[in-house]
Amino acid sequence: TYALAQEIESIKSHDIASLRQDWYAENKRMMSSIRTAMDEAIHRVEDNASTFQETVNERVDTCTDDLPMVQSKLDGISDQFESNRAELKRVEESHKQRIDALFHRGQQFDQRLGDVEGKVNTAACNIKSLFDE
């Protein structure tokens, strides 16, 4: 029985050592697989980041190339706006002068009309006094 116990213990020890070696081998294989997967993922992320950076740089370059043209158009629009503003001021001033002139003429017309009404009233009084006599 002692020999049998030793044999069982030997098998256990041998099996445990074998299992331990298998576990370490499997662990090493899995760690290697994980490292490989991580490295591949990192490379894909780096490639995607590089592609994204290139796209951004191209768009920035395009915008930078278009900037002088846009600035020129804005300058033209600004000049046109200033010209329109100056023209509007001239038109407003001319309109104000015309309104003032019309108002002044209206006052003169009112004064002449008042003078004519006064003369008509005087003439009517004179005519009435002639009929009354």
Please report which confidence band the pLDDT of residue 132 belongs to, taking 50, 70 and 90 as the band edges: confident
Q: pLDDT tens across 28-43, in order?
A: 999 999 999 999 999 9
Is it the case that residue 116 has pLDDT exceeding 90?
A: yes
In the chain, % helix, strand, coil (3-state, to 5) comes to: 100, 0, 0
Is it the case that residue 14 has pLDDT exceeding 70?
A: no
How far, rounded to the nearest angstrom, does the alpha carbon of residue 81 sit from its chain's CA centroid? 22
Share of the chain above pLDDT 90, in %: 66
pTM of the entire predicted model: 0.43
